[in-house]
Amino acid sequence: MKGLVIAKTRRHYVIEANNETFTSVIKGTLHLHNLNIVVGDKVSLDKDTKQIISLEDRKNFLLRPPVANIDQVLIVMSVDKPPFSLFLVEKFLTYCYFAEVKPLVVITKADKIDPKEEEKIKEIMAHLDGYACDYFITSIKSGVGLDKLKAAFSNKVSALMGQTGVGKSSLINALFPEFEREIGDISEKLGRGRHTTREVILLKIENGYLADTPGFSSFELPMDKEAIAQNYPLIKRYFGKCYFNNCLHLSETGCAVKKALEEGKIPPMIYQNYVKLIEETNK
């Protein structure tokens, strides 16, 4: 029998299988194998005891927080308080490309922009068009973009990342009012009176799942400088075209990225953000 891990504690796992949700453990003889099972993993179960007997291969894995088999990550950014950050968007996109997860960018609080500042939205959209990634302009207050965004969750396993205060919780509550009820249901199966977001939980919504995650907005990229060079937006398209295979696109001879920058094919701001990320990476 196959199952999906939708929540876990140190020793117990909440499994969804055959339209049933139940608590399980790893079969005793398998503890020696040190299975690192995380939320989102697909597992095989003993048909009689419903204990976990094996871990299925993953299609991807996010390290922070640990969650597996994600179809898409929604990068949630605000146009106001906190203000939109191109650098953070590019940092999160780099992580998504590295983890082989499709990124979507969601801009919140569009109603906060004064009509006289509409150029700000157009500028943001121009940058996102340049990345060739899907994006949504939304407002909980006016309802703009919510229906289109909700449809993007259907039949997908999704996770969120973004700064504190961008409106992630408010956005999800507006899209899926049943969100809090689902958290309560899973907490009960874990034997807890109330859920606090200290662990990852997969919530079933809109014919798909949403990963409720702690601390997803603040982390150092689990990548070295070469991995950043190979996955940074726009920069990554030049991978393998430089004279040196391990080129970091800083001062190396025969750098295709530096040439593209000189030819205007890469915006200076994006290259400056790339250099900033490279410089703050210690690996």
pLDDT of residue 272: 96
pTM: 0.84
Domains of the chain with bracketed CATH: 2-57 (2.40.50.140), 62-212 (3.40.50.300), 225-279 (1.10.40.50)
pLDDT of residue 209: 92
Q: Is residue 71 classed as helix, strand or coil in its secondary structure?
A: coil
Q: Which stretches of the chain score pLDDT less than 50?
A: 181, 193-197, 215-217
pLDDT of residue 185: 58
Q: Which residues pair with 2 in a beta bridge?
A: 44
Residue length, the chain?
283
Encode pLDDT of 24-66 as tens digits: 998 876 665 567 899 999 999 998 999 999 899 999 998 877 8
